[in-house]
Amino acid sequence: MDNALKTLADCIENPRPLRTSRDCLTGIVRSKAASGEELFPDIFGLDHEKRRCLEILAGGRGVLLTGEYGVAKTDLARHIVDLLNELFVREPLLYVERCPVQEDPALLVDYIVKGEGCGVLPCPICRKMIADAEGDYTTIGVGTRHHLVEGAGFSRVQGGGDVLPEEIIGTYNLLKLSEIGDPFDPRVFEPGKIGQASRGVLFVDEIGKLPETAQHALIQAAQEYIVTPSKSRETFPVDFLLVATTNPVDEEYICGAVRDRLVSLSIPLVSFDDELHIVRKELGRIQPAVYLPELYLSLAVATVRALRSDERLELGPRASINAAFIARSSALFEGRSMVSFCNIKEGIFTAILGKALYEDKQDVERAVQDAFPSIGPYLQKHIEGVDLERILRKYCGDGEVNAQTLKEHIAGSDNDELSRFAGWAYHNETIHKFRMYEVLAEYLSAYHRGCPSGELHGRP
């Protein structure tokens, strides 16, 4: 039916209830919960935090996500938009065309029927359109939206000292007003981030980095769901879900009046296994023909986490992601289809040192070296039930480790050590089975040679 609603007259003939952004969020959450679907399929762990975030927003409050860099605060905000979009694909969002705050046509229908006694007055521009229509509501267009996009149902405010209040609350363009002469002409009002987010999500990233005047611009909308643009005597109703984020070091800079209108939710660092999932997900977004063996991925995450308590560094999951991407690039430069131990070591050192200040780099490099395990014992510890030394003596006596040779030996062996090694790899690696021998060869090569001194830019 919604596809047939082209004008406000159609909406009057086919009335439907007012649907707020909170109603939409509640509807899609209940629908997915009833069918057993995952609400945040790309965010690993944080089960309690994900549920509480939804509860706060559905309860009509803004949420302040507090946590270290890289703990998925921004991903949570993005997934709120994704949830709404999933609903709007099935149940399109209707909005009044030419309305600067994209109002629900049901709000205008309620105003036409009840007049000033309706629950919420439409925006002044919509009221002017209704008055000008003189009962012919076919002149007021109604649009259909299947996705929230930047500037239409979604807007992002990036924390920074140069953000002005007018950017958030909007303003009247006095030059256009002088040209047009009608203060209720939609072309005169330039909606800010709040108006652009109406009917969807307003995302304020790193709110503690906003100047206090910009933070104050959020108060009226967060509390009363109305906004008064700069240079205007009129107020505009707005309907949005407010998601803000902050790093703990900036939390003290959030002014009390704004903080009082938000419910703070701490987002902790994820577990080791969840961090592995996060890195794999990011690696999967871009797929060069280079494979990163699982034990090397685990080594990168473990090394980053071992140094996470160093106050000179800010080592969230992004540092693990960076290490993996750099290692894969290093292998690409060498023309390899498999990340080697030297490649992953290069990635780990580069990613961690990239978080250090210039004066701390030497000390941090020593800390990385101390945290970095010897590759031989590391591989033997994690490849359980397999004697790597015995395999090397039996099949690689000359020190050369060749994937094709290993494949031939496995084909002719009968439950020996090499077969157990292959079985372990089939169970633990994610590469196609026809390339599994390359992984075995890489692990054996790393176990046999390690990373000789000088091979990695002079690092031991």
Domains of the chain, start order:
2-266 (3.40.50.300), 272-449 (no CATH)
Predicted pLDDT of residue 281: 86
Is a pLDDT exceeding 80 seen at residue 276? yes
147-193 tens-digit pLDDT = 999 999 999 999 999 999 999 999 877 777 777 777 667 677 889 99
Is a pLDDT exceeding 50 seen at residue 459? no
Q: What is the pTM of this model?
A: 0.82
Cα–Cα dist 42/436, whole Å = 27
In 3D space, the residue among 157, 159, 150 whose CA is nearest the CA of residue 69 turns out to be: 159
Cα–Cα dist 440/309, whole Å = 34
Of the ranges 75-79, 129-133, 243-247, 311-315, which one carries the lowest mean pLDDT score?
311-315
Residue 255: phi and psi, rounded to 5, are -65, 150
Predicted pLDDT of residue 460: 34
- Amino acid at the residue 161: G
Cα–Cα dist 329/343, whole Å = 8
Within 13 Å and on the Cβ side, how many CA atoms surround 363? 9
Q: Is 369 exposed, middle or buried (0-12, 13-18, 19+ CB in 10 A)?
A: exposed
400-429 tens-digit pLDDT = 677 787 877 776 655 588 888 988 999 999
Locate tokens 């100047």: which residue? 211
Cα–Cα dist 229/243, whole Å = 21
Instruction: Give the DSSP per-residue string, 349-416.
Output: HHHHHTTS-GGGHHHHHHHHHHHSPPHHHHHHHHSTT--HHHHHHHH-TTS---HHHHHHHHHH-SS-
Cα–Cα dist 89/116, whole Å = 34
Q: What is the mean pLDDT of the chain?
A: 88
Is a pLDDT exceeding 80 seen at residue 232? no
Q: Residues 111-139: what's their mean pLDDT?
A: 90
Cα–Cα dist 372/342, whole Å = 12
Whether the Cβ atoms of residue 22 and residue 201 lie closer than 8 Å to each other: no
